[in-house]
Each structure stands twice: as C-alpha cells, then as structure tokens.
Structure 1
C-alpha cells in the first residue's frame, strides 16, 4: 500500500506529489483532459499503421571494456535503459544501469500491453556486474519488476530512486535502496548521484496516482575524479527545470534526453518532450553532448517509428547544434563518449561539500 503520509514540500501536499509552478514552462497546457477525449484517442489509434519490424546490424562496441579517464562508455539497450561505465581513480569503473527494462512487454501483465519492436540491444547476461541501478519513476516502461528481480539476484546492486518507489523495488527483492527527493544526493563509488526535478507523474494502478515521485539524475565525481558528468532525464515534459539543473549542479558533460512518445500533444505535452524540446533542453542544460532515448522500442504513442530521429535532426540543425553533439545510438551500441570541453564543469568542490548537509 502507498504510504499514508508523505513529506510536505513545494512539490508534495502530504498525500500526493505534483509538478510545482516553479518548473513549468511559461505557457503550460492548463486544461484537463477528459475521459471522453482519451477514449476517442484510443479508438482512433486502432487505425494507425503498424510499426515496422526493423533490421538492425550487430551492436558495436564492448560494454565490458573499462573506460579511460575523461570518457564514459554509454551502451544503449533500448527505450530509457542505458549501461554507463564511469572511470574511477583506481582504474576501475562504476557501472550504472538506468531504468532497466528487459521484459517483452511494459505492462502489469505478461500477456497484454505495449510489446517490444526490438529485443534488448544487449542481454543482461552480456553486461558487466552492475553497481548502481537508477529508477526515475514507477511507470511500467521504466520500473520493470522482472528486470529488477533478475538484477537483484545476479548483482545485488544499490538502487537509487525517488520517494515512494522503494516499496515497488522491494517487491522485486531489492534490498539496498536509497530514496532521494529532488536535489538530494547519495555518494557511491566516488560519484555523487543527485535526484533532479522532472515534469511528469506516476501510477501503477488506478488508485496510486502521484503517490510516488518522479525525477532525473545527475551523476558526477563527489571529489576530484576522472569521470565526466552525466545527466539522465528519466521522463519529462518541457519546463524551466532544465536551466535550474544546469545552474545549480553545473552543466553536464553528457545528457541522456527523451525524444519520443510525444504524440498526441493534447495528452503528452505535460509529460513528454518533443524532439524540438529535447534540443532546447540540451541547450538550457548547457550539456556538452546529448544522446536521445525513449523511442523506437515500445509503441506508446502515435508518432511514426522513424519520426523522432528525423525531427531531432531537423531541430538540431535549426538550433545550430552540430550533428555529432546530439546523437541517437545504434541498437545495443556501446560508444566511448568524451566531454566537448576539457575543463571540469560544475560547482566548485567546496560547493559540492556544502551540499552534504542537504543530502
């Protein structure tokens, strides 16, 4: 059962979480979407052409390889699941997995719900031992109990998530779980993981809407370390939080940003960015590099299969962002990524130390 009371804050009234006005865009969608609109949308969706079954080449790169100082190995497994290998001062790597979903469907049941167009780009067995699992929120395409259970049995990782989600992870057998509210952090393996605001929502049943928080994550060295910084957005609509994150924590070297599941806008505008908004998010974060996600794996919305990356390319060009700075990785590809700027970006080390009091 959801907790009977939650910590009151600018994004929680004690019973449910909400998106505060401080992170909303200047002109957010204000009207409520009625049940009739949703039912009509679901009926119209039945006439949409099916997504193709794409043919993909064998995945490139080695997810088991150790990263050199100043680089991060980023492996795109599909949807919002990435394997990150971040270098540590002792020559080893901290291995992080984001929103792991290896199941065939993202659904409360195995026989219905959105089904994969492509299998995971890398199987769990092909991955190195995972140290940390980041869970941004509890929607089924981001929090998959069978995947979490398999990871728990194999690696016993640390799970970091937002308040209200630990109860779900415990159902999968997770033991080491840390909940971080927005702007709170946890240090692990020489890295600082900070939960960041996102404009979204949560539910796993008709009865627990917004009883668990949603977030993104900023990952950067807790001290002087060899790893670039990485921002993982989770799910989010557009808003002022991008600039707030960059200003407060420092511009990330690499940003993992959603570019799909945005159509129809009357329903998705508050919760999912368009490719054009993803480019704006990259600019507002002042990210050195960006990687697209949340597309081409599960058909959650109405846009054609290949539209997100086509619109991303056009939006990138219109904004004057070089093609190599905001990319879509191949299915299962492991890419060695380096920051665009050699200097360490982010708060001074003494500022990071002062954050300890709030973490």
Structure 2
C-alpha cells in the first residue's frame, strides 16, 4: 500500500509535509520584522507544531530560516536539520545538534525519508529539494529563481506527486528591479516540466510593509496568476491554492 501524502501550509514557504507518519517542516518562519511581513495569519506557532521528524531549510534568509523563533518556542534542537552549508553554519550557533549538510544532487536520510538537494538560485546561496518516502515524491522550491538545471530533475527522479513552488517574482527595487524569485509564469513553466499530480503555490503573501513595498521590494501577491498560467501550460496538473492551515491530501495519480 502506498503511503499517504499531505501538506499543510503554515505560511509563506513554511510547509508541514506528511508522508504517512513522517512529519517534515520546511523553511520555518514564525515572526516578523520591520521589512518582513507574512501578509497572512500563520496556521501554527512553534509550540503547537507537534512532533517534527526532519527540518529542511533552503537558505539562510530570515523568512526561511527563523531559527531564533524555533529556539524561543522550545523546538527540539536534536531534530535532524537538512540544508546547505550556509544554513548549517548558523544552525550550529543556535544549538542544533543533528545537522546534515547537502549541496546540489547530494542526499541525506532520516529513517525512511530521503532528502536530496537540487539546484537553486537566489540572492544568497540556495538549494531546492526533492523529498521522497513511501513511494511518494515532493519537490520543494524554496524561493529560488527558475534555473536550467531544474529541468534535469524529472530525468533523475521520475514522477512527482506534489510540487511547492514560489510565485511572487520578487524584485529588488534598489537593484534596478533585479528579479530574485521565480514569478507565476516561471513557476508554471517549471510545473509543466515536473508534471506533478498536485501543485501548490507558496511565497506570495509576503510584503515589506508600506515603506518597504515602495522602496525595497516589488512582488505579485496573487497566486491565481500562477493557477491561470498552469492552466495554459500544464492543464492536467491540479493547482490548489491553500489558505494557511488547510491540509491537502495528495491523491495517487489517476491521470491517463
């Protein structure tokens, strides 16, 4: 019998992915600061997360690597933490004791869960991830740009049940609107390559506050633009826009 697979979006790119009874938390973010606003209510606090079997972090930006909030909330610092070396360096200073460093195409295992880092590109060093357990596969895109190396993923890993991709196309105003995150069209084109059963957009509600939105960042906060683009480019993919706290159970692929 194939393992059940579900995902609950806590907020932003913080997702609770469940492969049967294996519970994986991605890119934790539980607080806000002067120029970092989630833009939506979070579905959980650190204290209410429950047991986490693995913590997967794509890069060290605060809105994806809020380790201070985990520490303050009493998170179990012996939980295996999987991420690139830049994240590992920070995690060691926070007291995490089981750190698994992975760079692109390298893997780490936690019980029956295998986490493989895949390429990414952002304003700092970033990896994306393929997570596999019980015959189910998930691609987690953090907040990477779309890079050509990502098109290699289906040939290496086969079919995906679920993709979690950023869609806001975040641009940095002081850098002449340099794009730092894939936008709806980029994400839809990658979705067409990965061909998952279910696709869930992430990393779109974030904003920089009234001042920051005018002078620091610009982004698309409407995930329906991604859903529309997928309908054009990959019409067989089921896009589900999930409010924080909504648990999506991913069915087995029944597409002909």
Task: Calculate the TM-score normalised by the size of structure 1.
Answer: 0.63
What is the rounded CA distance, in whole Å, between the counterparts of 1:342 and 1:276 in structure 2? Answer: 23
CA offset at residue 261 of structure 1? 4.2
CA contact (8 A) 1:282 1:290 kept: yes
Q: Give the RMSD, CA atoms, in angstroms.
A: 2.5
* Aligned equivalent of 2:193, options 275, 279, 284: 284
User: Structure 1's 214 and 113: CA in aligned 2 closer, same or farther, altered over 3 A?
Assistant: same
For residues 258-289 of structure 1, the C-alpha deviation after alignment (integer angstroms, 9 at most, x for no partner) is 111434695343x3111111111111123222
Look up the match of 1:103. 31
CA offset at residue 144 of structure 1? 1.2
What is the rounded CA distance, in whole Å, between the counterparts of 2:50 and 2:2 in structure 1? Answer: 19
Q: How many residues were matched structurally?
A: 247
Look up the match of 1:122. 44
Say whether 1:219 aligns with 2:152: no
CA contact (8 A) 2:25 2:54 kept: yes
Look up the match of 1:54. none
Look up the match of 2:239. 326
CA contact (8 A) 1:259 1:312 kept: yes
* Aligned equivalent of 1:317, options 221, 228, 231: 231
What is the rounded CA distance, in whole Å, between the counterparts of 2:234 and 2:107 in structure 1? Answer: 34
* Aligned equivalent of 1:136, options 42, 50, 58: 58
User: Structure 1's 229 and 283: CA in aligned 2 closer, same or farther, altered over 3 A?
Assistant: same
* Aligned equivalent of 1:250, options 137, 140, 158: 158
CA contact (8 A) 1:145 1:171 kept: no
Say whether 1:83 aligns with 2:5: no
For residues 33-78 of structure 1, the C-alpha deviation after alignment (integer angstroms, 9 at most, x for no partner) is xxxxxxxxxxxxxxxxxxxxxxxxxxxxxxxxxxx94421201011
What is the rounded CA distance, in whole Å, between the counterparts of 2:80 and 2:116 in structure 1? Answer: 14
Look up the match of 1:267. 177
What is the rounded CA distance, in whole Å, between the counterparts of 2:78 and 2:72 in structure 1? Answer: 9
User: Structure 1's 200 and 303: CA in aligned 2 closer, same or farther, altered over 3 A?
Assistant: closer
Unaligned runs of 5+ in 1: 1-67, 88-92, 106-111, 203-212, 344-359
Structure 1 window deviating more from structure 2 (279-288 vs 147-156): it is 147-156
- Structure (1 or 2) with the larger CA radius of gyration: 1
What is the rounded CA distance, in whole Å, between the counterparts of 1:188 and 1:327 in structure 2? Answer: 28
What is the rounded CA distance, in whole Å, between the counterparts of 1:156 and 1:243 in structure 2? Answer: 34
Secondary structure at 2:228's aligned position in 1?
Answer: helix
What is the rounded CA distance, in whole Å, between the counterparts of 1:104 and 1:98 in structure 2? Answer: 17
Secondary structure at 1:113's aligned position in 2?
Answer: coil
What is the rounded CA distance, in whole Å, between the counterparts of 2:116 and 2:106 in structure 1? Answer: 6
What is the rounded CA distance, in whole Å, between the counterparts of 1:166 and 1:256 in structure 2? Answer: 23
For residues 217-245 of structure 1, the C-alpha deviation after alignment (integer angstroms, 9 at most, x for no partner) is 11113xxx3x4111111121122122111
